[in-house]
Amino acid sequence: METFKKLKAYYWPYKKYFFISMFFLLFVTGITVVYPIILQKTIDDVILQGNYKWIPYLAFGFVGIMILKGITTFIQQYCGDLFGITSVYRLRNELYEKLQFLPFSYYDNAKTGDLMSRLTADVEAFRFFLSFGFTELLRFFLLITVSFGVMFYYSPSLTFVTLASLPFLAITVYKFDKAVHPAFRGIRKSFGKLNTNVQENISGINTVKSLSREEFQINKFNSSNGDYKDKYLFTSDIWAKYFPLMEFLGNVSVVTLLAYGGYLVMNGNLQPGELVAFYSLVWYIIWPIMNLGFTINLFSQSKASGERLLEILEVDEKIKDHDSVVDVDKMKGDVEFNHVTLNYTEHDEAALEDITFKAESGKVIGLIGSTGSGKTSITQLMTRFYEPTKGEILIDGKTLSDYSLKSLRNNIGVVLQESFLFSSTIKANISYGRPEATMEEIIEAAKMAQAHDFITELPDGYDTKLGERGLGLSGGQKQRIAIARALCTDPSILILDDATSAVDMETEFRIQKALKNVMSDRTTFIIAHRISSLKHADEILVMENGKIVERGVHDFLLKNNGPYQRIYDIQYQDQKKILQTQGR
């Protein structure tokens, strides 16, 4: 119950729906039991006694009561549903808000699939319980108690004889429930595996075809497909084993009812109508018991789901604005790192160690080094996606935490390594960071990023809608849109993190030329593997294992006998060779 208590804030504001639903449930259950009673009255008091004048009243009364039942059932169910969906509406908004502000460090360890299953399946399980679970539990007790009461009123001894098979039924239900849930999990798991199998096959179809492994893949698929079928049949066998048995045990009640009840009627200890009424009432007890396993399972599932949701809702947002932050409209762009060290977690080795540099507005800083050397970490500290473990970072002379997160990040334009585009128009993607940008500004940004030409060649131009992960665009085209997106915010600090890796040389050259014109009033950081991408920088920082091992301008580093020179030699050996052939 602890879980439900903690989640109270999301459903308790809508408690009125819950109480209305509960209140009307009392009526619904009451009226349900009325039907067999009316049948009994018709038989015993009207037909057998010959009181035929009651008939019209009975018939109309019955319809009247059923209209009442219809209305109450409707209100009961509708309010129960509303309770669930209104709570979930709120819960979803809060979850989404939470997700928007969780720090990078949370996402480093989170898997999209896992988060998605919490946001969909767990939210749904929780809703289902709010809508049905509570009321089903209550209905179970009400229906059984009332039916039992009525039966007991008619004939205590017949009640006991008839219900003698119930313990067996309860045991069967319990056993069934225990067997069927693992089996269902088996189906789900097998289906998941089949799903992964197919998905992988389709995503990797080029690889499959290029190595002509179609037959192999088909066989692999067939074994998963067969496993799914087997798991399904295993489950349906459990079903076949228990379900007819439950029905049979219910029917045993009917048989004993007929034998003993018939005997009672013959002896005059029971009215025929009462016997008929019993026949209906018995099922009002048997059905809920057969469903009990389902209801209890619902409860335990929603509890587990609630816990998984709380795990998200209770994550600490580590990076927040403190009270006296300032909003700055336009920064100058002077960046200073003073002896900065970063450990992503306590146990990790330092990702950055004692980093110190100064970048004045208008300057271009190049960062080069192998994968994992800490280039990206530097830029992520600037945008405060992580906080330094030691040392301080200043922009325009002020510590980062003195700025509001919003104004800090608004002043920094980042082009990330992986150019993620949203399912939206190209226009909206470029203006993502500044939705109020005019069409002229969007086009200007696209022109600088050398994206304008290919965009206008698309049938819908800037209004072209991009599909999942920018489907239909090449890697280079996506990168160029991502660059335009960063330029569109007109940032004081521009970070290009391996932003042109998929762009061909000619285009990269043109992008750099265009950027040169707008670099004068901003600080630019370029992370790259190709020396050609950053040789024009005012300072190049060569990184190795989280440290700056070499720094200076291109011409200096070229003769410094360090890693930079080595990289240069490797990359330019082509050119040298060609020069040789040319000079021949």
Partner 1 sequence: MSKNKSKVNKNALSRFHYSTDQVIDKPFNWEQLWRLLTYLKPYSKKLLPLSIVTVLITTAIRLIIPILIGVYTLDKAIRQKDGTLLFTLVGIIAGLYVINYIANVLRIRWMNELGQGVIYDLRKHLFSHVQWLSHRFFDQRSAGSILVRIMNDINSLQELFTNGVINLLMDIILLAGIIVILFTLSPELTLAVMVILPIMFFISTSLRKNIRRSWQDVRIKQAKLNSHLNESIQGIRVTQSFTQEQENMAFFDGVNTETFDSWKTATKKNAMFRPMVELTNAVGTAVLIWYGVHLIQGGSLELGEFVSFAFYLGMFWEPISRLGQVYNQLLIGMASSERIFEFLDEQPIVDEKHDAMNLDDIKGRIQFENVEFSYDANRKALKNIDLEMKAGQTVALVGHTGSGKTTIANLISRFYDPTKGEVKIDGINLRDVTVSSLRNQISIVLQDTFIFSGTIKDNIRFGRPDASDEEVRKAAEAIGANEFIEKLSGGYDTEVEERGNVLSVGERQLLSFARALLANPRIIILDEATASIDTETEVKIQNALKKLLAGRTAIIIAHRLSTIRESDNIFVLENGKIKESGNHDELMDQEGDYYELVKSQFKMLEAM
Beta carbon of residue 289, minimum distance to partner 1 (angstroms, whole number):
18
| Max Cα–Cα distance, the chain, nearest Å | 126
Q: Which is nearer to partner 1, 417 or 545 (CB)?
A: 417
- 3-class DSSP state for residue 378? helix
- Beta sheet of 390-395, edge-to-edge order: 352-359, 335-342, 390-395, 398-399
Any alpha helices (H) in 204-321, and if so which ranges?
A: 205-210, 214-266, 272-313
Beta carbon of residue 343, minimum distance to partner 1 (angstroms, whole number):
19
CB atoms within 10 A of CB 273: 23
By CB under 8 A, is residue 226 in contact with partner 1? Answer: yes
Q: Which of 130, 169, 194, 282 binds partner 1 (CB under 8 A)?
A: 194
Q: In the window 346-375, what residues touch partner 1 (CB under 8 A)?
A: 369-371
Q: In the window 418-477, what residues touch partner 1 (CB under 8 A)?
A: 420, 422-425, 428, 432-433, 435, 465, 467-468, 471, 474-475
Q: Rounded to an integer, what distance in angstroms lies between the CA atom of residue 247 and that of residue 240?
A: 11
Beta carbon of residue 236, minimum distance to partner 1 (angstroms, whole number):
4
Q: Rounded to an integer, what distance in angstroms lies between the CA atom of residue 458 and that of residue 466?
A: 11
Q: In the window 555-574, what residues touch partner 1 (CB under 8 A)?
A: 567, 570-574
Beta carbon of residue 487, minimum distance to partner 1 (angstroms, whole number):
12
* Nearby residues of 176 by Cβ (< 8 Å), 6 or more positions away: 238, 242, 243, 246, 293
Beta carbon of residue 103, minimum distance to partner 1 (angstroms, whole number):
8
Beta carbon of residue 204, minimum distance to partner 1 (angstroms, whole number):
4
Q: Which is nearer to partner 1, 2 or 294 (CB)?
A: 294
195 φ, ψ (degrees, to nearest 5): -60, -50
Fill in the amino acid letter for 503. Answer: V
By CB under 8 A, is residue 39 in contact with partner 1? Answer: yes
Fill in the amino acid letter for 577. Answer: K
Q: Which of 1, 52, 322, 348 binds partner 1 (CB under 8 A)?
A: 52
Total interface residues for partner 1 by CB under 8 A: 159
CA 453 from centroid of its chain's CA atoms: 37
Q: Which of 308, 363, 485, 551 binds partner 1 (CB under 8 A)?
A: 485
Q: Which of 89, 141, 174, 556 binds partner 1 (CB under 8 A)?
A: 89
Beta carbon of residue 430, minimum distance to partner 1 (angstroms, whole number):
11
Q: Which is nearer to partner 1, 108 or 521 (CB)?
A: 108
Q: Rounded to an integer, what distance in angstroms lies between the CA atom of residue 26 and that of residue 126?
A: 24
Q: In the window 370-429, what residues touch partner 1 (CB under 8 A)?
A: 370-371, 383, 385, 405-406, 409-410, 412, 414, 416-417, 420, 422-425, 428
Q: Which of 145, 196, 269, 356 binds partner 1 (CB under 8 A)?
A: 196
Q: In the window 147-186, what residues touch partner 1 (CB under 8 A)?
A: none
Cβ-contact 483, 449 below 8 angstroms: yes
Cα torsion angle, 263, 266, 270, 275, sign: positive
* Nearby residues of 162 by Cβ (< 8 Å), 6 or more positions away: 151, 253, 256, 257, 260, 261, 278, 282
Q: Which of 149, 505, 521, 556 binds partner 1 (CB under 8 A)?
A: 505
By CB under 8 A, is residue 216 in contact with partner 1? Answer: yes
Q: Rounded to an integer, what distance in angstroms lies between the CA atom of residue 386 and that of residue 401?
A: 11
Q: Which of 96, 153, 160, 174 binds partner 1 (CB under 8 A)?
A: 96
By CB under 8 A, is residue 9 in contact with partner 1? Answer: no
Q: Rounded to an integer, what distance in angstroms lies between the CA atom of residue 470 and that of residue 419?
A: 9
Beta carbon of residue 234, minimum distance to partner 1 (angstroms, whole number):
10
Give the pair of three-digit tokens for residue 204. Answer: 């990797």
Stretch near partner 1 under the rule CB under 8 A, chosen from 115-123, 136-144, 150-158, 175-183: 115-123
* Nearby residues of 534 by Cβ (< 8 Å), 6 or more positions away: 364, 366, 367, 368, 526, 528, 540
